[in-house]
Structure 1
Amino acid sequence: MIARARAPLRLGLAGGGSDVSPYCDQFGGQVMNVTIDRYAYAIVRPGDGQSTCFEALDVRHHAEHICGDEHSLSGPLQLARGVYARVCRDFLDGKQPSLRVTTYSDAPPGSGLGSSSTMVVALLQAFVEYFGLPLGEYEVARLAYQIERNDLGLAGGKQDQYAATFGGFNFMEFYADDRVIVNPLRVKDWVWAELEASLVLYFTGVSRASADIIDQQSRNVSEQNQASIEAMHRLKDEAVAMKECVLMGDLRRLEATLRAGWEAKKQTASSISNLLIENIERVAFANGARAAKISGAGGGGFMMFLCGAEDRLTLNRALLEQGGSLLDFHFTQRGAMSWRVP
């Protein structure tokens, strides 16, 4: 039997960063995001009886784990290793079955689309399918967060795991003690279609490690940097405004909200923006963009631009001249899913 799973990548629309500790523990965080039809994939199937094989097809990494040996949670395949180790510990009484675990993704690491956390969700969903584990959506998202942040020690927030698990447009609330509330939004069809026609996703060509930016944001809150904390408060407020804009179809206010959220985000850590990003912004605004922001922690990866649908082709041509690439996408309502193949 083969278990397959996929989980959708997400666009962070507003509030990103307020889901990171210690801010969300002290003040509560609020985030608006939406998933798109680009995915992380995971496959779990029986192994050779002696070892478990991990392979990432998109980055061409391969590793073997001898069943019964101590787990290694480092290296380029640490996400798959971490999920395997946690499932063995929590659900299989410590037994290490021989498996073949394969992954690949539609987006590169460091894209700003939540690719790493989405991969953890896809992996965990594949194990849930393979072993018939009794985990619902909240349990999958929470466990994926614990594996990535606690077991593997990777810095980051909470929104990516919940976005990948639940799918769709969501307004999310984050509180102390890892308490999370996901509020799915019923978005009118015309708003959905107009946003798809007006949003442009541009890859800067630079993948970035988000850990340094997230560490700086966390330090600023821990050290009571008031400018950074006030900027985080504004980010959170913009998430509430974004929710209202999307639900009511107020697209002009949505543009202003996106712009205000991006300006606030840049105040939370000094490395979120840079000369490359600022230059791309200037080109975009000179060619029809009405609002812009980085998707994810910042420093590189994908940039989002909101424009009039009639200006989309002009904006696309101008952005392509900057040396990056465009990503065609549609929003998707469904979150992580898995299935069995005989």
Structure 2
Amino acid sequence: MIVRSRAPLRLGLAGGGTDISPFSEQHGGYVMNVTIDKFAYATIDPSPSGKAEFHALDARSEQVLDPDEVDLSAGPQQLMRGVYLHVADRLLGGRRPAVRVRAHSDAPPGSGLGSSSTMVVTLVTAFNEYFGLALGEYEIAHLAYEIERNDLGLSGGKQDQYAAAFGGFNFMEFYADDRVIVNPLRIKDWVWCELEASLVLYFTGVSRASAAIIDEQSRNVREGKSQSLEAMHRLKQEAVQMKEALLRGNLRRFADVMQSGWQAKKMSASSITNPLIDRIEALAFEHGAKATKVSGAGGGGFMMFVCDPAERVRLVNALAGAGGTVYDAHFAPHGATSWKIG
């Protein structure tokens, strides 16, 4: 039997950072996001070698290990090994199966599209299908969060796992004791189409490690730094405002909230922006952009811009000459899915 899975990457539209501890536990976090037609993929089948095999197809790297040798050490296969160990040791009663796991993503790590967490979600989804674990979306997302944050000790928030598991436009609420509420939004067709036509996705060419930025945000909250706390509360309220703008079809308001959120986000940590991002932002506004933000923690990765669809070509041409890459992206209405072959 062969099992395959995929999970969509996401764009953080508003409220990003308020899903991170300790802010979400102390104040509650709100995030507005949407998934796009870029995916993380996984395949699981019986191991031809009779061992545990992990193939990071993007990195052209593979590991073939005795099941008892699998550990959580760093490396291209770390996420795969982390999911394997969690499922085997906690859900399969300690049985470590001889399987082959192969995975790749449409976006590199550090892209700002939640690629690492999305990869964990698609791996959990594949194992869920392969072993008939009967996990639902909330359970898959929470399990992925536990693996990434607790088992592997990787810094980050919660929105990426839930976006990948549920898919579509979602307004998310994050509270203490790991309580998460996902509110799927029913977006009118014309709003969906207009927003797709208005959105430009640009990869700066610089992947960044989000952990340092996230750690700074968390430290600022713990230390009660007023500027950072004020910025986080603004981000939280702007997620509510963006939800209302989308449901009402007010895309001018959508752009205004995105830009305001970007200004607030830059106040939450010093490394969220840099001269490269500032230069690209200025260039974009000179060529028709109405709003911008960096997707994810900041510091690099993907930037998104909102423009009048009639100005899209002019903006794309300007960005194409800035050293990065412009990507087409369409919204993905469905979350993680899996299927069997044979």
Q: Scaled by the length of structure 2, what TM-score is found?
A: 0.99
Q: Matches of 2:301 and 2:42 in 1, distance apart?
A: 23
Q: Matches of 1:110 and 1:330 in 2, distance apart?
A: 21
CA contact (8 A) 2:28 2:176 kept: yes
Q: Matches of 2:114 and 2:57 in 1, distance apart?
A: 19
Alignment correspondent of 2:263: 263
Alignment correspondent of 1:66: 66
Alignment correspondent of 1:52: 52
CA contact (8 A) 1:67 1:97 kept: yes
Q: Matches of 2:15 and 2:319 in 1, distance apart?
A: 26
Shift of 1:71: 2.4
RMSD: 0.8
The residue correspondences of 1:278-297 to structure 2 (distance < 5 A) are 278-297=278-297
In structure 1, runs of 5+ residues without a counterpart are none
CA contact (8 A) 1:50 1:67 kept: no
Shift of 1:68: 2.5
Shift of 1:65: 2.0
Alignment correspondent of 2:325: 325
Counterpart of 1:331, as a letter, is F
CA contact (8 A) 1:41 1:104 kept: yes
Q: Matches of 2:56 and 2:271 in 1, distance apart?
A: 30
Q: Matches of 1:143 and 1:96 in 2, distance apart?
A: 18
- What count of residue pairs does the alignment treat as equivalent? 342
Shift of 1:239: 0.2
SS at match of 1:267: helix
Counterpart of 2:307, as a letter, is C
Shift of 1:73: 3.5
Alignment correspondent of 1:198: 198
SS at match of 2:200: strand
Counterpart of 2:330, as a letter, is H
Runs of 4+ residues deviating >3 angstroms: none
Q: Percent identity?
A: 64
Q: Matches of 1:75 and 1:197 in 2, distance apart?
A: 38
Alignment correspondent of 2:182: 182
Q: Matches of 1:77 and 1:298 in 2, distance apart?
A: 25
CA contact (8 A) 1:73 1:82 kept: no
Q: Matches of 1:120 and 1:72 in 2, distance apart?
A: 14
Alignment correspondent of 1:164: 164
Q: Matches of 2:59 and 2:265 in 1, distance apart?
A: 31
Q: Matches of 2:61 and 2:21 in 1, distance apart?
A: 32
Shift of 1:185: 0.1
Alignment correspondent of 1:151: 151
Alignment correspondent of 1:211: 211
Question: Over residues 149-176 of structure 1, what are the superposed CA-to-partner deviations in whole Å (9 max), with x where a residue is unaligned?
Answer: 0000000000000000000000000000
In structure 2, runs of 5+ residues without a counterpart are none
Alignment correspondent of 2:87: 87
Counterpart of 2:202, as a letter, is Y
Q: Scaled by the length of structure 1, what TM-score is found?
A: 0.99
Q: Matches of 1:105 and 1:231 in 2, distance apart?
A: 32
Alignment correspondent of 2:336: 336
Q: Matches of 1:73 and 1:23 in 2, distance apart?
A: 29
